[in-house]
Amino acid sequence: MIFELTILGANAAIPAHGRFPTSQVLCINHRYYMIDCGEGAQIQLFRHKIKINKIHAIFISHLHGDHYFGLMGLLNTMNLRGRTEPLYLHAPKGLQEIITLQLKYSHAVLNYSLHFIETNQEKSVFLFEDEKVTVHTIPLLHRIPCCGFLFREKAKDKNLIKEKIPIDLPIAGRIALKKGEDFEHNNQILKNEDYTHLPNKRRSYAFCSDTVYLPSSALIEIIKGVDLLYHEATFTHIHEKRAAQTFHSTGKQAALIAQEARVAKLILGHFSTRYYDLSPLLEEAKEVFPNAALAIEGETFSVEE
Amino acid sequence: MIFELTILGANAAIPAHGRFPTSQVLCINHRYYMIDCGEGAQIQLFRHKIKINKIHAIFISHLHGDHYFGLMGLLNTMNLRGRTEPLYLHAPKGLQEIITLQLKYSHAVLNYSLHFIETNQEKSVFLFEDEKVTVHTIPLLHRIPCCGFLFREKAKDKNLIKEKIPIDLPIAGRIALKKGEDFEHNNQILKNEDYTHLPNKRRSYAFCSDTVYLPSSALIEIIKGVDLLYHEATFTHIHEKRAAQTFHSTGKQAALIAQEARVAKLILGHFSTRYYDLSPLLEEAKEVFPNAALAIEGETFSVEE
C-alpha cells in the first residue's frame, strides 16, 4: 500500500525563485489528502498529474494567505471537473466565512457538498478518520491560530502465514485469524499465533508549519517516532532571533525537534525568499539530524510498509 | 512614450495547458495599470519582470474567480515588498468585503492604503484618471455584474516646431504655445498655428471580458476607433449556442465587434480549456477582421505615438 507525500510548494510568504507557497498531498493507497493550499496549488496538481477530484479531504494549518490562497480556485475547478463527492475541509475559524462570501458574489452553486470542520489550536485533538487514516491536530505557536496535522494509518489486520493456512479454510476463518482471533476448523482450534504474523506497522506523517521553535514535551509527545516529519525551517540558524520574532523556526531547530522526537525522516520546508540556494538550510539540519531532506516541489517521500 | 499591453493570462475558468487565467497589465509611460488578476498573476508578473509595486491601480471586471483569485496574494506581496503608495482598486460590489474579511483573519495590517471604487455595470461612466490616462467603464452582459474598461490617454499638449522657436523664448512662452495659445515675445505676437504641430493622437485600449455577443450600438459607440480592443473569444463559432448560454462570445463574434467598431487591432482571449490549439479561434476571427491576434502570455502589444 502506498503511503507517500508529494510536495507541491514550500516557499514562505510569496512565490519566488520558481517555488510555490506551501501545499502538499499525502497519498494513502490511492486516496489523497491535501495539506495547505497556497496560491497555484491547482497548477502544481496538474503539473504533477494528481487528479484533483481524488482529493478526499483538505487540511489548512492557518489563515495566512501563503497557506490557503489557492483554495478557492481549487474548489471551483473541482466543480468544473464534475465533482459530486463531498469534500471535508479542516481549517481554523474564518475559512467557512471567507469561502461562503466568495461563492455568494460569484453566484456559484457547487455540485458537491462542502463540510467545514473547525480546528482546535489549543491541544491535540482527534479531527478526522476514514477507513485508511486518522488525523489529529498538532498545536503550534505562530502569529495567528495555527495547528499542524498528524496522519496515522489505522490499525491493520494481522498478516496470514499463507503456507500454513488450510486450503479449505472458509473466508470467515481467514477474517477471524486476521483480526487476531483463534478459529475452529475441522474440529481443530487454529491458534492465532501459529497462523499469523504481526500486522505491518501503522505509518505516520506529522506536518508542522508554521511555528516558532517549540522544544516542549507536549509537541515531542505528539510527534514522537513518526516516519516522516515535515517541519518548517524558514531561516538558517544565524537568523535565530529573526525566526523567534516572526514566530518561525530555523533549519537547526527543525532538526533538534526531529532528533528529540526520534522521527525516522525530517523534511524541511517553508523557505524564506531570501534563500535562492537552500543547501545551507539542509546542511545545518543534517549536522544535528542526518536523515533530513528539502521539500523540493514535485518530490515524493514514500514510507515503506 | 510607451503605451503597451502585456498579457499575463488569458485562459477561461481554470489554469490549463500551461495557460494562466485572465490578467494583464497596461503600461503607459512606465506607469502600470493591472486589468483582472487571476490566480498566479503575481507569478506571471515576476516571470515577465514587471515590478509589482509599479502597479498604480487595479481594475477587476467581475467577481468570477478566474478574474480575481490572484488579487489577495498580490496585495500581500506588495506589502512584503515594502509598498507605501496608495493602491486604487476598481471592482464590482463585494470585493471590498472579500478582501477586508481575509485581511481580518490573517491579522494583516497593510503598510499602504487600499482605496476601493465600486464599478457601475449599467452604463459607461468615468471611473479613474491620473495625469496620464482616463478610464471609463464598458457595460458588458455576463452571468454576474461585469464591465470592461476603456483606457484613453489624456489630451496632450501640441508639439513645438523646434526649428521655428526663437532661441530666447522664455519657458512661459513655450508652455503657452504647447497649450495652443498665442504668445507675445519681443513685441511680436507668435501665432500658435505657425509654431506648433497638432498633438499626437490620444491612444486607447478597450478591455471587454467576459460578455455575451453584444452587437449593440451602445457598446460600439463606446469602443469605436480604439487602437487596441481585447475581446473575449471563449469558443469557436460552431459553439455559438453554447457561448450564448454561458454568456460568452465566439472568435467570429469578437471579430464582428472589432469590425463594426473600426478598431485598429483586435486581441482575442479568455480561451476555453477545450482548446489546446488556439489557431481555429484566430482563423475564424481573421476571416472577418484580419488584424487580429491571440492573447498569448508574455506577449506585448504596443501602440505607437
pLDDT of the residue at A136: 97
Average pLDDT of A211-235? Answer: 96
Mean pLDDT of chain B: 96
Whether B106 sits inside 8 A of A16 (CB atoms) is no
Rounded CA-CA distance B298/B269 in Å is: 13
Rounded CA-CA distance B210/B227 in Å is: 20
A26-64, pLDDT tens digit by residue?
999 889 999 999 999 999 999 999 999 999 999 999 999
pLDDT of the residue at B217: 86
pLDDT classification of A157: cutoffs 50, 70, 90: confident
**Residues of A with Cβ-Cβ distance to B103 under 8 angstroms:** none
Side chain identity at residue A181, one-letter code:
E
**Residues of B with Cβ-Cβ distance to A95 under 8 angstroms:** 105
Is residue B88 within 8 Å of B58, Cβ to Cβ?
yes
Side chain identity at residue B208, one-letter code:
C
Of B65, B73, B105, the CB nearest to A63: B105
Task: Identify the contact set of chain B against chain A, taking CB-CB distances under 8 A.
Answer: 13-16, 39-40, 42-43, 46, 63-66, 69-70, 72-73, 76-77, 80, 92, 94-95, 97-98, 101-102, 104-107, 143-144
In the predicted structure, residue B65 carries a pLDDT above the cut 90: yes
pLDDT classification of B53: cutoffs 50, 70, 90: very high
Residue B182 annotated in active site: no
pLDDT of the residue at B134: 97
A61-84, pLDDT tens digit by residue?
999 999 999 999 999 999 999 999
A128-149, pLDDT tens digit by residue?
999 989 999 999 999 999 999 9
Q: Which candidate in B66, B130, B168, B227 is catalytic?
A: B66
pLDDT classification of A200: cutoffs 50, 70, 90: confident
3-state SS, residue A115: strand
A89-143, pLDDT tens digit by residue?
999 999 999 999 999 999 999 999 999 999 989 999 999 999 989 999 999 999 9
Among B11, B20, B43, pick the best mutation site for testing chain A contact (most A Cβ within 10 A): B43
Which residue of chain B is at minimal alpha-carbon distance from A99? B98
Pairing of strands A55-59, A31-37: parallel
Mean pLDDT of chain A: 96
Rounded CA-CA distance A152/A138 in Å is: 13
How far A160 CA lies from chain B's nearest CA (Å)? Answer: 47
E strands of chain A, at which residues?
3-9, 23-28, 31-37, 55-59, 87-91, 114-118, 126-129, 133-139, 147-153, 159-160, 183-185, 188-190, 196-197, 204-208, 228-232, 265-269, 292-294, 300-302
pLDDT of the residue at B239: 98
Contacts of A110-113 spanning 24+ positions with Cβ under 8 A: A110/A75, A110/A78, A110/A79, A110/A83, A111/A79, A111/A82, A111/A83, A111/A84, A112/A78, A112/A79, A112/A83, A112/A84, A112/A85, A112/A86, A112/A87, A113/A86, A113/A87
Pairing of strands B126-129, B133-139: antiparallel
**Helices B279-288 and B251-260: angle between axes, nearest 10 degrees:** 30
In the predicted structure, residue B117 carries a pLDDT above the cut 90: yes
A182 upstream amide cis, omega within 30 of 0? no
Rounded CA-CA distance B133/B202 in Å is: 9
Ramachandran region, residue B219 (left: φ > 0; alpha: ψ -120 to 50; beta: rest): alpha
Average pLDDT of A195-206? Answer: 92
Rounded CA-CA distance A277/A261 in Å is: 28
Whether B13 sits inside 8 A of A76 (CB atoms) is yes
Rounded CA-CA distance A183/B301 in Å is: 79
Which residue of chain A is at minimal alpha-carbon distance from B273? A80
3-state SS, residue A73: helix
Whether A14 sits inside 8 A of B107 (CB atoms) is no
The model carries a pTM of: 0.92
Domains contained in chain B, CATH given:
3-156+200-302 (3.60.15.10), 159-196 (no CATH)
pLDDT of the residue at B68: 98
Other Cβ atoms less than 10 A from the Cβ of A100: the count is 12
How far A105 CA lies from chain B's nearest CA (Å)? Answer: 6
**Residues of A with Cβ-Cβ distance to B43 under 8 angstroms:** 15, 39-40
In the predicted structure, residue B99 carries a pLDDT above the cut 90: yes
E strands of chain B, at which residues?
3-9, 23-28, 31-37, 55-59, 87-91, 114-118, 126-129, 133-139, 147-153, 159-160, 183-185, 188-190, 196-197, 204-208, 228-232, 265-269, 292-294, 300-302
A239-259, pLDDT tens digit by residue?
999 999 999 999 999 999 999
- Give start and end residues of each alpha helix (H) in A41-94: 41-47, 71-80
Rounded CA-CA distance A13/A22 in Å is: 9
Is residue B30 within 8 Å of B5, Cβ to Cβ?
no
Whether B144 sits inside 8 A of A106 (CB atoms) is yes
Whether A101 sits inside 8 A of B101 (CB atoms) is yes
In the predicted structure, residue B199 carries a pLDDT above the cut 90: no
Give the angle A84-A96-A270 at the CA atoms, nearest 5°: 95
What percentage of chain B exceeds 70 in pLDDT?
100
Among B22, B39, B100, pick the best mutation site for testing chain A contact (most A Cβ within 10 A): B39
pLDDT of the residue at A49: 95
pLDDT of the residue at B201: 87
**Residues of A with Cβ-Cβ distance to B107 under 8 angstroms:** 143-144
pLDDT of the residue at B305: 85
Whether B46 sits inside 8 A of A16 (CB atoms) is yes
B250-279, pLDDT tens digit by residue?
999 999 999 999 999 999 999 999 999 999
Is residue A44 within 8 Å of A25, Cβ to Cβ?
no
Catalytically annotated residues of A:
66
Of B42, B69, B105, the CB nearest to A94: B105
pLDDT of the residue at A278: 98
How far A164 CA lies from chain B's nearest CA (Å)? Answer: 54
How far A102 CA lies from chain B's nearest CA (Å)? Answer: 7
- The C-alpha cell of A277 is what? 540556494
Is residue B297 within 8 Å of B37, Cβ to Cβ?
no
Rounded CA-CA distance A241/B230 in Å is: 50
Average pLDDT of B177-185? Answer: 93
